[in-house]
Structure 1
Amino acid sequence: MTNQETPKLPETFEQQMASLLEANEFARFKAALFTPCKSSIRINPRKKAPLPHNTSPVPWNPHGHFLPQRPKFTFDPLFHAGAYYVQEASSMFIGHILNHIKPPKDGVYLDLCAAPGGKSSLLADYIGDEGLLVANEVIKTRASILRENMIKWGLGNTVVTNNDPSHFGELEGLFDVVLVDAPCSGEGMFRKDAQAREEWSPENVKYCAARQQRILDQAGALPGSGGYLIYSTCTFNEQENENMIRFITDEFAYESVRIPLDPAWGIVETEADTEWGTFYGYRFFPHLVSGEGFFITVLKRPSDAPFQQPKKMKDLKHVLLQRTNKAEKMLLRQELTLDDAFDFYKLKKSFFAIKTTWTKHFEVLASTLNIKYFGTELGKFNKDQFIPTHALAISILPKTFPRHEISLEEAHIFLKKEDLTLDISHEGWVMLTYQNLPLGWIKNIGNRINNYYPKEWRIRMKIMDKEGNNRENTNCKIVQSP
């Protein structure tokens, strides 16, 4: 930094890191905290979108890519279509872990502290159409963001919940993988977030460690026999990392898991000696990797740990959620050409699809947890007319509705939920696509086109052209052909 005073780190934090790192490393670490970090995205493998130019691969995740510069993601229609997720590269290491430990893809997974959804979408990628993911967030407003991001990802294999970890007590032994990306003191975010540096204190570290213990005390019994607990933080200190390994292994029976590393990656393996043996953790330091600060560890439940297999419920006792009857199922299958692989539920007046394989598990979850979203929301019937949802449009479910490809300029108008003028021969519901990826619905009623992009998701920022001019001041509507 020229002609400017270098920002300061908390003195106690510097002392902590100086003891954690080699003497000649600390200066490099400190300097790295005040240099820009590369932006990275993770491609949605089930939505075929073109890769941006001049990217470089994230070495530990085949779907991860570093960008040459950070663009305005808000103005990229592919971002709104769920073609990729803007995710910090260090977090993508979870994909490498899954590919090594190989938990069953047709299993039940839980992301206990899931918002905003980057790690949940990664878990959803791994299980694909075979497994079921529960993505939970305790804070209501953040659960809404999580719901939006899982809808955009579009795989339909996720149940979004809004619960405290203590609410999962009846589900002990149900899960094959439990991920706890715990709230922490945020030391790994010091480069990106000046406020995180200002708010850091030894007292806050202790507070976070106590909160992490409370979460792990609830999460430790959730993986079934042979299942895995993955614990991560975006911090460096031992109190929130290795000490949590010691805590969980004192409370529950777990076995050590070691993950192979390529030395070129720069990831540091650490050891936590416990009464039950040596357990391994993995630290990401910003002076060694192209990523933010991160810590992660993997533990395995022994084969004699409890395992829960849900039984079919005779009646689904829920205030709002209902099973569909035969007539409703027939209508939905005819309207959407969905086969017997899917079952349907009605929440209020809207219908949802979920894989038949997971209906027993889903009903147990629905009777236990506060469900915010599940599977894919399809739509509702108004008399005999089917009204599709935005979630259906951007899902990977098959769709037989007419499509209309639009330009970047038209996509911006649509995403701002403004009036569109298009040359469309089809009347009724039409799915707009950008670079062949669905963006959402319009309804052509002859004399006008209604824009059905969700009001709460619309772009509110001003869109600038290449010269930096406000595009709001130009007429960018397409003239309708006669």
Structure 2
Amino acid sequence: MTEHSGRGSAASLNTPADVAASALSRYRDLVDDWDAFAAALCRPLPGSVWANPTRIGVDALAGLLAEQGVEAVPVSGLPGALQVPASFRTGQQWWYCIGLAHAQEVVSQIPATLMDLRPGQRVLDMCAAPGGKTAQIAFALGNRGTLVANDVSFQRIKALQGNLDRLGVVNVTTTCGDAGNWPAAGGQFDRILVDAPCSSEGTVRRNASLLQRMALANSERLGPRQRALLRKAVQRCRPGGRILYSTCTFAPEENELVVADILAELPDALRLVPVSIPGFRTAPGITAWQGRELPADLAHCHRFWPHHNDTGGFFIAVLEKRGDLPSEPEPKPAELSDAEHDDWLTGLDAKYGFPEDYWTHYRVNRQTRRGLHLMAADHVPPAVPKSEGSGLFFHRTNVRPPKPTTAGALLLGRDVSRFRLELTQAQRDAYMRRETFEPTAAQAALDQRGQMMVTYAGHALGVAIFHRSGVIESQFPRRWSGCAAGPQQGQGGAPADAED
């Protein structure tokens, strides 16, 4: 195919669509309707949220949006997702901040649905931050077993962990490093997601300034890293396992050419898996580019063009490793402090009245001096590479009296039978603004004072102090308080992390 220059003179660029068409003109021969494609890039991208399956159903989430006068439309092909207006500030809603839902672009939600995930699998997310796909995988595994989420940036790992904590994920261990050098001692995995760092051309509907910085050199620079990630994923995949490679760019240099090169390197180990994506219109992967003929099997890849489904741009390839190849031994598990926590759990039981044998569903351990972490009972972090954290930091024991973290309260609060306080809507908003507020007459009549789990409409909000003086003091974290200060108020977005 012929490469176009991708640039036009400033005088000739009269509209945003002209700018988009000029910046991306080298893809003109790949797109079925160029004018529709260029026009789509200039329209606001609709928002999308998915319901946290451990806390709320999608119909109930749609009901919360309807109460706010927001029309939420089900997303065909994604049963738990809702489309919301582009202008809707999802990260500032009370229900978002307490983990009832997560905001994630529609096409970004698709990879997890194609990984054939089942409880009991061992899974690696190689480039995990900010964590939307990680959380989807975690819930597809039933919030059990072992999912390792890696990212090369420590700051991005903090944001990743914050999202996992907000959503109540307990089956994830996070690691920080270059996944292209993932150590063999970390073991093999049944499923691996490689959502590779890319030139992000498909995100221009959210970040129009990218149009001014697009250049073929970006794709050529990123290609070697993407190949290293996919190559390592093949090595770390168990025989018979599945690898999903995805990007949010249009560039063949980062998509089909990467997949073609790895298939050529490992012709006896891999095959491209044909998958269907109900509810979405996609284009097949290309089989020729700039004079290079590519394997016909690359047509099994999927390209998402923005004008086909009113989404961003995306690329997906699903690969399977041959099942008759030699497998490796199970990795050595990390040594965790699982003992001497019974007294803390007994104290929580005595205070809040959890159901009998409640803690048998979890694995409790101390990872820092601050307090205790909660993991799925069958979660087994590997000894290598060194983890940044496993599970959810749920109980702070280095304060007097000890108290559940907000993430812990969001996870456990619905199961307590004592010291639980249901708030009114006005109290809910005051609580999430970190205010001290007056109790209702019915609340004032209660004989319980001190540390309380607070809820609204049955949903856990966190921890508050019901003072003997008769006021209720919010313990909602300061770093979260901007994201849910009542309808359309506040300045913050979703919390960056969940450690109080």
TM-score range with shorter-chain normalisation?
0.7 to 0.9
Partner of 1:191: 205
Report the number of matched residues: 449
* Distance of 1:219 and 1:61 partners within structure 2: 26
More displaced stretch, 346-355 vs 83-92: 346-355
Partner of 1:165: 179
Partner of 1:376: 392
More displaced stretch, 431-440 vs 403-412: 403-412
What are the superposed Cα offsets for residues 403-433 of structure 1, whole Å, 9 maximum, x if unpaired? 2232443333322323333343321221222
Tell me if structure 2 keeps the 8 A contact 1:169–1:218. Answer: no
Instruction: Report SS of the residue matched to 1:239.
Output: helix
Matched to 2:482, the amino acid is I
1:305 equivalent to 2:325? Answer yes
Tell me if structure 1 keeps the 8 A contact 2:96–2:102. Answer: yes
1:71 equivalent to 2:88? Answer yes
Pairwise CA distance, 1:332: 6.8
Instruction: Decide whether aligned partners of structure 1 residues 460 and 189 sit closer, same or farther in structure 2, where only a CA change above 3 A counts.
Output: closer
Where does 1:71-150 land on structure 2 (aligned, <5 Å)?
A: 71-98=88-115, 102-150=116-164
Instruction: Decide whether aligned partners of structure 1 residues 190 and 388 sit closer, same or farther in structure 2, where only a CA change above 3 A counts.
Output: same
Larger relative contact order (C-alpha < 8 A, sep ≥ 6)?
Answer: 2
Where does 1:63-462 land on structure 2 (aligned, <5 Å)?
A: 63-68=80-85, 70-98=87-115, 102-171=116-185, 173-252=187-266, 253-262=269-278, 265-270=280-285, 272=287, 278=298, 280-310=300-330, 316=335, 322-325=337-340, 327-328=342-343, 331=346, 334=349, 338-349=358-369, 350-358=371-379, 361-362=380-381, 364=382, 367-381=383-397, 385-395=401-411, 398-423=415-440, 424=443, 425=446, 426-447=448-469, 448-459=471-482
Instruction: Decide whether aligned partners of structure 1 residues 201 and 383 sit closer, same or farther in structure 2, where only a CA change above 3 A counts.
Output: closer
Identity of aligned residues (%): 24
* Distance of 2:177 and 2:199 partners within structure 1: 22
Instruction: Decide whether aligned partners of structure 1 residues 35 and 384 sit closer, same or farther in structure 2, where only a CA change above 3 A counts.
Output: closer
Partner of 2:61: 50
Partner of 2:4: none
* Distance of 1:104 and 1:308 partners within structure 2: 21
* Distance of 1:275 and 1:74 partners within structure 2: 43
Pairwise CA distance, 1:236: 0.9
Matched to 1:443, the amino acid is I
What are the superposed Cα offsets for residues 210-262 of structure 1, whole Å, 9 maximum, x if unpaired? 22123223322121111111111111121111011112223342122111244
Instruction: Decide whether aligned partners of structure 1 residues 343 and 284 sit closer, same or farther in structure 2, where only a CA change above 3 A counts.
Output: same
Pairwise CA distance, 1:75: 3.2
What is the TM-score of this pair, normalised by structure 1?
0.84
| Ranges in structure 2 where 5+ consecutive residues have no aligned partner | 1-12, 288-292, 492-500
Partner of 2:8: none
Instruction: Decide whether aligned partners of structure 1 residues 434 and 75 sit closer, same or farther in structure 2, where only a CA change above 3 A counts.
Output: farther
Instruction: Report SS of the residue matched to 1:368.
Output: coil
Matched to 2:135, the amino acid is S
1:6 equivalent to 2:20? Answer no
* Distance of 1:196 and 1:461 partners within structure 2: 30
* Distance of 1:62 and 1:13 partners within structure 2: 35
* Distance of 2:104 and 2:341 partners within structure 1: 42
Tell me if structure 1 keeps the 8 A contact 2:303–2:315. Answer: yes
Pairwise CA distance, 1:208: 1.8
Matched to 1:33, the amino acid is L
Tell me if structure 2 keeps the 8 A contact 1:59–1:265. Answer: yes
Pairwise CA distance, 1:463: 6.3
Pairwise CA distance, 1:166: 4.2
* Distance of 1:179 and 1:404 partners within structure 2: 41
* Distance of 1:205 and 1:105 partners within structure 2: 36
Pairwise CA distance, 1:72: 2.3
Matched to 1:121, the amino acid is A
More displaced stretch, 78-87 vs 266-275: 266-275
Matched to 1:331, the amino acid is T
Superposition misfits of 4+ residues, deviation over 6 angstroms: 460-465
What are the superposed Cα offsets for residues 119-151 of structure 1, whole Å, 9 maximum, x if unpaired? 111111211134322222211111111111001
Instruction: Report SS of the residue matched to 2:254.
Output: coil
Tell me if structure 2 keeps the 8 A contact 1:103–1:227. Answer: no
* Distance of 2:372 and 2:117 partners within structure 1: 31
Pairwise CA distance, 1:68: 4.3
* Distance of 1:172 and 1:246 partners within structure 2: 27
What is the TM-score of this pair, normalised by structure 2?
0.81
Pairwise CA distance, 1:76: 1.2
Matched to 1:50, the amino acid is L
Instruction: Decide whether aligned partners of structure 1 residues 88 and 94 sit closer, same or farther in structure 2, where only a CA change above 3 A counts.
Output: same
Matched to 1:214, the amino acid is A
